[in-house]
Structure 1
């Protein structure tokens, strides 16, 4: 007899699959320290050779994260079924200074906020964690 009870199964992702999923979405959240407190900002991103690229502006709280350890999280979890995935990368946020790279990223990554973004940050993932949530059926 099948009771049809639904459960969620969590499966850890490997590095390559986590990066593939991260590259499949545009929006994530950067976690950094501002005034000795944790701060989180939603930002859009692209992946470039496995690195997370985001844009910001001079004076933003986010610029305090330059040369500091940050985490970047993105996910795609259905609010109704609770099925999907989540990925977190941890690394040092570095300011991109090469003018050619900056010009390229300005073409590839248009910020969602309507303001001048004069900073480009690159996060090289030192650590990557991620999981998928899938639907499993437990029955007797």
Structure 2
């Protein structure tokens, strides 16, 4: 962030706390050597890992297994020109441990599109960054809108 740019940098714990307030984010991954972005519902595990629940047969499961991905969540109020954005970057893995899968089936995010066989994708929060728009329409007490 640049000083006086109208944004405030968010700390790791604040980023993770804000993410619990929204149900949908976007996973950014590579598909056919090109960047791909997919909106998904999600949850956070106790350690801050991002959890996705999807069909075990989905292309997403195959595309992200073992890859470094980014996950972005935000909350923006266009009318007030305010909001925040958080990005979690880390390795994605498909949960294969039966006990862990059972735990996540009870406590993890519910799929908005249930499938006969579901998989959990776990994104380790290796890098967590975020920023909040603090300037909005009045930056430093001066109305910058028309």
Decide: shared fold, TM above 0.5. Answer: yes
1:64-75 equivalences in 2 (<5 Å) = 64-75=63-74
Given candidates 15, 18, 21, the residue that maps to 1:18 is 15
CA distance in 2, matches of 1:115, 1:82: 38
TM-score normalised to the size of structure 2? 0.82
1:1-140 equivalences in 2 (<5 Å) = 9-48=6-45, 49-63=47-61, 64-108=63-107, 109-116=109-116, 118-134=118-134, 135=136, 136-139=139-142
Deviation at 1:57, TM superposition (A): 1.6
Instruction: Encode CA deviations 1:96-115: one digit per residue, 9 max, x unaligned.
Output: 12222212222332111243
TM-score normalised to the size of structure 1? 0.85
CA distance in 1, matches of 2:15, 2:85: 8
Contact in 1 for aligned 2:54/2:115 (Cα 8 Å): no
Greater percentage in strand:
1
Instruction: Encode CA deviations 1:29-70: one digit per residue, 9 max, x unaligned.
Output: 000011111111111111111111111223322111110000
Gaps of 5+ in 1: 1-7
Deviation at 1:117, TM superposition (A): 5.1
Number of residue pairs aligned between Structure 1 and Structure 2: 133
Gaps of 5+ in 2: none
CA distance in 1, matches of 2:123, 2:129: 15
Contact in 1 for aligned 2:43/2:51 (Cα 8 Å): yes
